[in-house]
């Protein structure tokens, strides 16, 4: 009798937790279903890279995506440095495997929008992604923010703003933040001209966070993308 | 003076060693181009260091004609002054050794005019040498490697210059290099006026350039503070300043900008002062020189 009472109490106490887990799993499934509507896309936009050791102009880029996880960012003119891990800016990549445990981590507020915080733990022990935290806008069923920790490519964060392509779950603006390392070359290799501006660079070198801001002007969705662009 | 200048130019281009300099520089640049064509990616990997771990890029795009030219000019830092010294160091002492200097000095022209004619003739040689370097290092590289944005590596940052913003920088850099090489020519001329054979001034010029370059580049506070500002080699790297594109707070490069133009102008001023100093000293010495050979 005593055991039955304990079991009943435990069930009553765990019920909200289990229901919540079920809710977030359904929420993630809904977001995934929305993203699954896109088989491929080609997007045009501009990329602004802000890394301490990298002084680059704003690049006109074209992003290509094809299911299940092909992603390529190409600079239209010249060349660009694309942060490693930026291939995961397509959230469909993170959710495509479906092999993960979903945990409810409460709610948060992003720019006035209440979002559901969901943690994804991959079931595959060898997966590169160790943990993903998604901030899901339940009303529009889109991911507003994502934090990802990987084994090989460090941690990175994505912030997304939506507009014209919300129905496909595709953002208009993506801000990709990532960790950077120091960059240093021996003076005997570069033979720098000492013009007295070294201090300016030295002061700025303290910032170890890199940032890539992608503003997308247009998407061409589900019109087919040739495999050769990913090579 | 004009006739004297023409004769001096003729004399320079009659000597096989003049063409030897062109041949050496051609061979040297060709070897660098070949090396970068075959193993450029490995060299680039070294230059980019930790960037390889953080960023994805197409090495083939970075390894373009503009970048190859920049790498060549970086590697030619010591070699071009040697080739300049090879001709300018011989310009007075060579004639002293051959015994033609006395014949020249007895002509109804001032000694100052003789030295100035020799200096301007060596300027023609330096100009043509740099023009040739520009042609094979820039235009041939562009033909072989193609055109794209230019990546400039500094000790603690990398700067990307867009294709349309590069060519004027090379024009300015070669213009600066001409002034820098003219300092070497003026120094060689000065040493040539005090010597009776060609080898001495050539070796001495090369030695001074190497020694001063080493002191300029050594990160020793004593040298940096008290000696470096007075060495002409400290200003010779100013051509690179044209490639140090300025950037805003978001680390975004500003098209058409130069990070520190006053520093480049200061270097040009210093180099011109050295030219005036060396040429004036050459004229003074040559005027008082007792020509016995």
Domains of chain A, first to last: 2-230 (2.50.20)
pLDDT > 70: what percent of chain B?
A: 99
- pLDDT of A202 reads 52
Weakest-pLDDT range from A182-191, B140-149, B158-167, B218-227: A182-191
Let me know the angle formed at the C-alpha of A33 by A28 and A38, rounded to the nearest 5 degrees. 130
- pLDDT of B76 reads 81
Q: Residues B28-39: what's their mean pLDDT?
A: 92
Residue B211 · residue B231 · CB < 8 Å: no
- pLDDT of B65 reads 94
Contacts of A231 in chain B (CB under 8 A): none
- pLDDT of A34 reads 86
State yes or no: pLDDT of B139 exceeds 70. Answer: yes
- pLDDT of B48 reads 81
More confident residue, A24 or B263: B263
- pLDDT of A14 reads 53
Q: Residues B222-233: what's their mean pLDDT?
A: 88
Q: Extract the residue ranges of chain A whose pLDDT is less than 50.
A: 19, 203
Top-confidence range, A122-126, B106-110, B144-148: B144-148
CB contact under 8 A, A78 and B62: no
Q: Structure tokens of B7?
A: 């004769």
Could you give the CA distance from residue B79 to residue B289 in angstroms, rounded to a whole number?
31
**Secondary element (H or E) of residue A127:** none
Phi-psi region of A75 (alpha: psi -120 to 50; beta: other; left: phi over 0): beta
Calculate how close chain A gets to B155, using CA atoms only, in Å: 5
State yes or no: pLDDT of B44 exceeds 90. Answer: no
Confidence band (pLDDT; 50, 70, 90) for B46? confident
What is the secondary structure of B174-235 as a DSSP string? HHHHHHHHHHHHHHHHHHHHT-SSSHHHHHHHHHHHHHHHHHHH---HHIIIIIGGG-GGGT
Task: Return the exposure string of A60-93: e unless at least 16 CB atoms fall within 10 Å of the residue's CB, then b.
Answer: bbebbbbeeebbbbbbeebbbbbbbbbbbbbbbb
Could you give the CA distance from residue A58 to residue A63 in angstroms, rounded to a whole number?
15
Task: List residues in chain A touching B: CB distance below 8 A.
Answer: 48-58, 77-84, 86, 178, 180-198, 201-202, 205, 210
CB contact under 8 A, B260 and A188: no
Confidence band (pLDDT; 50, 70, 90) for B223? confident
Residue B107 · residue B173 · CB < 8 Å: no
Contacts of B143 (CB under 8 A, 6+ apart): B65
Could you give the CA distance from residue B112 to residue B107 in angstroms, rounded to a whole number?
13
Helix count and strand count (H, E) for chain B: 14, 3
- pLDDT of B36 reads 92
Helix, strand, coil proportions of chain B in percent (round to 5)? 75, 5, 20
CB-CB: which of B163, B244, B251 is closest to A54?
Answer: B251
Q: Residues B143-172: what's their mean pLDDT?
A: 92
DSSP A81: P
Residues forming a β-bridge with A210: A178
Q: Residues B102-122: what's their mean pLDDT?
A: 88
């Amino acid at each position: 009798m005593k055991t039955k009472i304990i079991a009943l109490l435990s069930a009553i106490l765990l019920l909200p937790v289990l229901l919540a887990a079920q809710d977030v799993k359904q929420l993630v499934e809904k977001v995934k279903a929305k993203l699954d509507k896109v088989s491929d896309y080609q997007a045009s936009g501009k990329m602004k890279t802000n890394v301490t050791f990298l002084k680059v102009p704003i690049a006109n880029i074209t992003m290509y995506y094809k299911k299940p996880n092909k992603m390529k960012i190409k600079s239209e003119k010249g060349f660009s440095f694309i942060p490693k891990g930026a291939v995961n800016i397509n959230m469909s990549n993170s959710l495509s495997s479906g092999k993960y445990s979903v945990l409810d981590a409460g709610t948060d507020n992003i720019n006035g929008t209440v979002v559901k915080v969901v943690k994804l733990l991959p079931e595959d022990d060898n997966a590169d992604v160790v943990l993903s935290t998604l901030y899901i806008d339940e009303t529009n069923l889109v991911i507003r923010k994502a934090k990802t920790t990987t084994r090989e490519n460090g941690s990175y964060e994505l912030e997304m703003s939506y507009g014209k392509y919300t129905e496909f779950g595709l953002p208009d603006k993506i801000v990709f933040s990532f960790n950077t390392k120091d960059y240093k070359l021996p003076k005997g290799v570069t033979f720098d001209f000492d013009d007295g501006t070294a201090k300016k660079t030295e002061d700025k070198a303290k910032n170890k966070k890199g940032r890539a801001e992608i503003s997308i002007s247009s998407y061409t969705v589900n019109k087919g993308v040739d495999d050769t662009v990913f090579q | 003076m004009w006739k004297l200048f023409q004769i001096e130019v003729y004399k320079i281009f009659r000597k096989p060693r003049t063409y030897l300099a062109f041949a050496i520089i051609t061979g040297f640049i060709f070897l660098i181009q070949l090396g970068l064509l075959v193993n450029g990616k490995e060299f680039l990997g070294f230059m980019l260091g930790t960037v390889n771990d953080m960023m994805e890029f197409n090495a083939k795009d970075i390894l373009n004609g503009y970048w190859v030219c920049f790498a060549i000019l970086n590697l030619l830092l010591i070699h071009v002054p040697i080739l300049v010294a090879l001709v300018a160091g011989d310009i007075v002492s060579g004639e002293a050794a051959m015994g033609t200097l006395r014949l020249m000095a007895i002509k109804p022209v001032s000694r100052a005019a003789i030295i100035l004619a020799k200096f301007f003739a060596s300027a023609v040689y330096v100009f043509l040498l740099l023009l040739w370097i520009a042609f094979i290092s820039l235009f041939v590289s562009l033909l072989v490697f193609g055109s794209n944005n230019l990546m400039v590596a500094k000790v603690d940052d990398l700067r990307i210059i867009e294709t349309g913003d590069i060519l004027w920088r090379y024009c300015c850099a070669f213009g600066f290099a001409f002034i820098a090489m003219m300092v070497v020519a003026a120094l060689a001329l000065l040493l040539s006026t005090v010597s009776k054979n060609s080898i001495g001034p050539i070796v001495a010029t090369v030695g001074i350039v190497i020694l001063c370059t080493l002191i300029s580049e050594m990160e020793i506070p004593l040298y940096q503070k008290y000696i470096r500002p007075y060495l002409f080699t400290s200003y010779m790297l100013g051509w690179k300043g044209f490639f140090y594109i300025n950037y805003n707070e978001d680390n975004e490069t500003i098209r058409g900008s130069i990070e520190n133009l006053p520093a480049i102008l200061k270097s040009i001023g210093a180099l011109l002062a050295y030219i005036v100093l060396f040429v004036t000293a050459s004229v003074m010495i040559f005027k008082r020189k007792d020509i016995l050979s």
